[in-house]
Amino acid sequence: MPKDDCKQPLLGPSTQSVHGGEPRTKVQSAITMPIIQTATYTFANTQEIADHFEGRITREEYGRYGNPTQRIAERKLAALDGAEDGLLFASGMAAITTTLFAVLSKGAHVVVTDDAYRRTRQFLNQALRRYGVEVSTVPAGDYARMEEAVRQTTRLIFSESPTNPYNRILDLERVADIGRRHRVRTVIDSTFATPINQRPLEFGIDLVIHSATKYLGGHNDLMAGVVLGSTDLVGAVRDFQGVTGAVPDPFAAYLLIRGIKTLALRVLQQNVNAQRIAEFLEAHPKVERVHYPGLRSHPEHALAQRQMRGFGGVVSFEVRGDLDAASRLVDACRIPRIAPSLGGVESLIEQPALMSFYELTTEERLQVGIKDSLVRYSVGVEDADDLLADLKQALERV
**What are 132-154's pLDDT values in tens digits?**
999 999 999 999 999 999 999 99
Say if 218 falls within a structural domain: yes
pLDDT score, position 7: 43
Query: Are 251 and 102 members of one domain?
Result: yes
Query: Are 288 and 235 members of one domain?
Result: no
CA distance 323 to 365: 12
Say if 292 falls within a structural domain: yes
Query: Are 70 and 153 members of one domain?
Result: yes
Say if 290 falls within a structural domain: yes
Exposed e or buried b per residue across 219-236, where buried means at least 16 C-beta atoms within 10 angstroms of its C-beta:
ebebbbbbbbbeeebbee
pLDDT digit string, tens, across residues 13-46: 889 989 988 888 888 788 888 899 999 999 999 9
Query: Are 275 and 169 members of one domain?
Result: no
Cβ atoms of 68 and 103 closer than 8 Å:
no
pLDDT digit string, tens, across residues 159-215: 999 999 999 999 999 999 999 999 999 999 999 999 999 999 999 999 999 999 999
Query: Are 249 and 273 members of one domain?
Result: no
pLDDT surpasses 60 at 2: no
For β-strands 109-113 and 287-291, DSSP reports them as unpaired
Give rounded-to-5 percent helix, strand, coil for the chain.
Answer: 45, 15, 40
pLDDT surpasses 80 at 62: yes
What is the extent of the structural domain holding 62?
13-260
Domain boundary among 231, 260, 289: 260
Q: Sign of the CA dihedral 201, 204, 209, 215?
A: negative
Query: Are 253 and 274 members of one domain?
Result: no
Query: Are 157 and 254 members of one domain?
Result: yes
Percent of the chain with pLDDT over 70: 95
Query: Are 140 and 199 members of one domain?
Result: yes
User: What is the residue type of 398?
Assistant: V
Give the chain's end-to-end CA distance (angstroms, integer).
Answer: 55
Spatial neighbors of 345 by CB under 8 A, at least 6 apart, are: 218, 219, 220, 266, 380, 381
Query: Are 294 and 337 members of one domain?
Result: yes
CA distance 105 to 109: 9
Domain boundary among 242, 260, 278: 260
Element housing 229 (H / E):
strand 225-229
Report the CATH number at residue 56. 3.40.640.10
